[in-house]
Amino acid sequence: MLSVQQLRKQFTSVLAVDGVSFDVPGGSIFGLIGPNGAGKTTTIRMILRILEPDSGTVTYNGASFTKATRDILGYLPEERGLYKKSRLIDTLLYLAELRGLQRSKARVAVMTWLERLGLRDAAQRKVEELSKGNQQKVQFIGAVLHDPAILVLDEPLSGLDPVNQNIFKDILLDLKQKGKSIIFSTHQMDQAERLSDALCLINKGRVVLGGTVRDVKKRYGRNSLHVDFDGDGTILNTLAGVQNVMLYEHSAEMELMPGVTPRDVITLINPHLDLRKVELLEPSLHAIFLQTVGGLETAPKGKEGVA
């Protein structure tokens, strides 16, 4: 089990991470969510020993990482890139050897993974000749080649088409079956909701929400009304008795105010729209996220510098 305890990191002018703690048991996927600049990347970097925390500990099965044991980590950084001019096989062998794998064993692992991701014939090609999606696959291979016990993935699915997203998801679930501790960060709440066993929401360097997905949702109770409809839904924005309305083309999710029943709301909607489906559910992770961090998620994506 990977255990992160009270991590804290102060940069010159900002307190980037302020007492973050969570556990990731073996054989589970942990989602790290939060708006940009919340401290996700800094937390990840401290787990990986790229940055030294000011205080707090990161332990695996009770022991902290040393030079010798850090090779059980695998890492896929957020902004992707590889050595453009180098051949695929050379790049992957290099990354594997850096993780302490012997060259002969590395070769076997590289070929197995290339085969699995349909890139076997590209082994001798240069990275720059590959499509972006395929480059992302290569990077992913670089992170898992040495069979790490802990896998840290920063936005692993962004930029992938649905087919490749599925391939990656299957691989992640497979690795989970094999008992790995997997941490991934994401902005996309539906991904976090579908993939992770447990998650934590970080905002301004602090954990504002944490636990299993079910626990988190339960905390908010069944007070979220999901409706499908025909017609112009803008009327829902001005509806009495509900708040935090998320309006889509032909569906909407809204939070009932205390004391308001679904029947009250339906009565209000009926004169204006043809309802096709009405459900009272737990709020989606997306709604919880917006509620907790106050719409920050839609802020423009910026760089998370460290200096």
Partner 1 sequence: MTKILVIARWEYMEKVKSKIFLVGLLLTPLIMIGMGVLPTLFVSQEDEHSRIIGVIDPGGTIIEPFTHRMQTRYLLKNRQPNYIVLPLAVGTGINVDDAVADANRRVASDQIDGYFFFQGSGRDSLIEYRSKTVGDFALPARIEEVLKTIVAEQRVQALGLDPAVLRQIAVKMDVRSVKLSAKGEKENAGFERVFLSAYVFLMMLFLLIVTSGQMLVRSVIEEKSNRIVEVLVSSCSPTELMAGKVLGLSGLGLTQMAFWALIGVAASLQFGMQLIDPGHALLLVVYFILGYLFYAAIFIAAGSPLNTEQEAQQITSYLVLVLILPIVLALPAMKDPNATWIKILTYIPFLTPTMMAMRIPIQMPMLWEILLTIVIMLISIAGAMVAAGRIFRIGILSTGKSPKLKEIFRWIKNG
Binding range to partner 1, per CB under 8 A, among 1-9, 86-94, 197-205, 251-259: 86-94
Task: State in angstroms the smallest separation of the CB of 80 from partner 1.
Answer: 7
> Considering the rule CB under 8 A, would residue 301 count as an interface residue with partner 1?
no
Q: Does 104 bind partner 1 (CB under 8 A)?
A: no
Question: Taking CB under 8 A as the rule, does residue 78 contact partner 1?
Answer: yes
Strands 181-186 and 15-24, sheet pairing: unpaired
Identify which of 17, 2, 6, 22 has the alpha carbon closest to the alpha carbon of residue 57.
Answer: 6
The DSSP call for residue 126 is B
Question: Is residue 97 close enough to count as binding partner 1 by CB under 8 A?
Answer: yes
Cα dihedral 57, 61, 64, 69 in deg (nearest 10): -140
147 binds partner 1 (CB under 8 A): no
DSSP at 101: -
Is the CB of residue 65 less than 8 Å from the CB of residue 2? no
Q: Could you tell me the smallest distance in angstroms from the CB atom of residue 99 to partner 1?
A: 5
Cβ nearer to partner 1, comparing 79 with 161 = 79
Binding piece for partner 1, criterion CB under 8 A, among 26-34, 93-101, 157-165, 221-229: 93-101
Q: Does residue number 39 form part of the binding site for partner 1 (CB under 8 A)?
A: no
CA 71 to chain centre: 22
Among 71, 197, 228, 297, binds partner 1 (CB under 8 A): 71
With respect to partner 1, which residue has the nearer C-beta, 295 or 305?
305
Q: Does 57 bind partner 1 (CB under 8 A)?
A: no
Binding of residue 95 to partner 1 (CB under 8 A):
yes
Tell me which residue of 170, 189, 198 sits closest to 24, measured CA to CA. 198
Applying CB under 8 A, does 90 fall inside the site for partner 1?
yes
Name the residue with tokens 């094999």.
178
Q: Which region among 64-72, 169-177, 237-245, 257-265 touches partner 1 (by CB under 8 A)?
A: 64-72
Cα–Cα distance measured from residue 286 to residue 217, given in angstroms and rounded to the nearest whole number: 11
* From 67, 263, 277, 301, residue interacting with partner 1 (rule: CB under 8 A): 67
Comparing CB distances to partner 1, the nearer of 65 and 168 is 65
127-158 exposure pattern, b = at least 16 Cβ within 10 A, e = fewer: beebeeebbbbbbbbbbbbbebbbbbbbbbbe
**Angle between helix 132-144 and helix 88-98 axes, rounded to 10 deg:** 30
Q: Point out which residues bind partner 1 (CB under 8 A).
A: 45, 48-51, 67, 70-71, 73, 75, 77-86, 90, 94-95, 97-100, 142-143, 303, 305-307
